[in-house]
Amino acid sequence: MKNWMKSTWMAFFLIAAISVTALAAGFGSGRLTAEENDVAVSINIPEGKTETITSLRLKLHVALEGGSMKEPSFQFENAIKSTVKDAAIDREANGSYMVDVILSGKKDQAIFDKAGNVSVGTLSIRPDSEEYQIRVEFAGIHAEGEQPDVSYVKADGTSELSVLLSDAESVVLKKTKTEPTETPTETPTETPTETPTETPTETPTETPTETPTETPTETPTETPTETPTETPTETPTETPTETPTETPTEQPIINPPAPVTTAPRTPVLQAKAKKYSKTVIFTWTRIDEADGYVLYEYHNGTGKFEAIQTLTSPSITAYQITFANATSHRIKICAYKVAQDGTRVCSADSAEVRVTICPAKVKGVTAKFKSSSKAVIAWKKVSKAKGYRIYRSKKKNGKYTLVKTIKKGSTKKCTLSHKAGKTYYYKVQAFVTDANGKRVYGSFSAVKSPKKKS
């Protein structure tokens, strides 16, 4: 299981610490609908509860009964608006998998409709053998024995309930080989039976009856010997020998070629950095038919993109990297599929994403009066900075206003005018520019105020 115990679903266990999980009266039902290698999962809780259910947990067991398979994946329905949508997939020793599905949301994010129904999502099974048999079924969470159940929490968060699923039939995904037994038996039997029966019956009956009346001695001896011997020997010997020998030798040549592994689709890459942070979170679209992804970064030294991270699961769709301050980076991603010979077949590279990291925090800030109406603000130079901004406020924790922008990274101080006899507070931040000339700002320095001259 991932981090669901540390997220919104923690409500389950806070309640469980106080009292034992309650088993709700009545039964629910679970439905698994298979289409090729996809299994749609839906739940019904028929009690007709009027209270809003905002948290739900169920388990699916993917049992490998024959063949082999890769890790399955789970895609939630878009109609579900829950804040937390998580499917933890754990592999068992025999090659089977347990899928722990969790939904949890705010008070206004109801999971079930008014009739107590919800389409949770689709479980995609990924067999990787020519023959296989895989069973998908609901598994138990709190119920004893083999009876499956689901757990849910009401919007008020006061209790966790468990409902038994009385109507939850399993589905079996199965594929077997088909032996090529039809072609060799059809062709040899048709051709030999048709041709020999037609020719012998026509010629012998016509010629002997007409000729004997006119020329009794000459004709009867010639005609019967020529016709019967020519026709039966030519036709039967040619046709049966040609057809049976051709078909069996051609069929095996068509079947042996190994299946060609097609490249997966190309993921769409995005990047997002937190304000004033060196860490960038990269996200991309999930490619179900892939076996993993490879992230690439452009290196100025080699002049090409080089792999920086390989992710070996199609369910991973985010990765974070911490870079150095005031640096720029060009990142790409591709999806890959593993062929039968172990080589990787990659998709086309995604469009590159460019990120520029903010500069470091300004340190060593001082503020001193130059005169009663002027103050000198100084600071330590920030590496690779393109400039600085100075802000001022009448209160230390009040609203600060930009009073000066310096467009030179080597500058380390400036003089500012202000009203005599007033107290002011100052803070400084550095900035760099990205590939498009847009400024990227670092975090603010500590606040400083010049002391009044006596």
Q: 3-state class of 109 per DSSP? A: coil
CB proximity list for 361: less than 8 A, separation 6 or greater: 276, 442, 443, 444, 445
The pLDDT value given to residue 210: 47
Long-range contacts of 179-184 (CB under 8 A, 24+ apart): 180/251, 180/255, 183/247, 183/251, 184/244, 184/247, 184/248, 184/251
Does residue 301 surpass a pLDDT of 50? Answer: yes
Residue type, 379: W
Tell me the DSSP string of 416-427: EE--TT---EEE
Token pair for 188: 């040899």
Query: Alpha helix locations (H) across 211-338?
Result: 219-254
Report the C-alpha gap between 282 and 319 in whole angstroms: 5
What is the tens place of the pLDDT at every residue in 328-345?
999 999 999 999 888 999
Torsion angle, alpha carbons of 335, 337, 343, 347, to 10: -40
Does residue 199 surpass a pLDDT of 70? Answer: no
> Distance of CA 239 to CAs 185, 200, 202, 275, 327, Å?
16, 16, 20, 84, 80
CB proximity list for 374: less than 8 A, separation 6 or greater: 415, 416, 417, 418
| Residue that wins the pLDDT comparison between 171 and 185 | 171
What is the tens place of the pLDDT at every residue in 331-385?
999 999 999 888 999 999 999 999 999 999 999 999 999 998 999 999 999 999 9
Report the C-alpha gap between 290 and 315 in whole angstroms: 9
What strand order describes the sheet that includes 401-406? 401-406, 387-393, 425-433, 439-441
Report the C-alpha gap between 165 and 152 in whole angstroms: 13
Which domains, and CATH codes, for the chain?
A: 4-175 (2.60.40), 183-254 (no CATH), 269-356 (2.60.40.10), 366-441 (2.60.40.10)
Report the C-alpha gap between 375 and 368 in whole angstroms: 5
What is the tens place of the pLDDT at every residue in 99-141?
999 988 887 888 888 778 889 999 999 998 889 999 999 888 7
Residue 207's pLDDT band (cuts 50, 70, 90): very low
Task: Give backbone dihedrals phi and psi of 444, rounded to 5 degrees, phi first.
Answer: -75, 155
Type and span of the H or E element at 14: helix 10-16
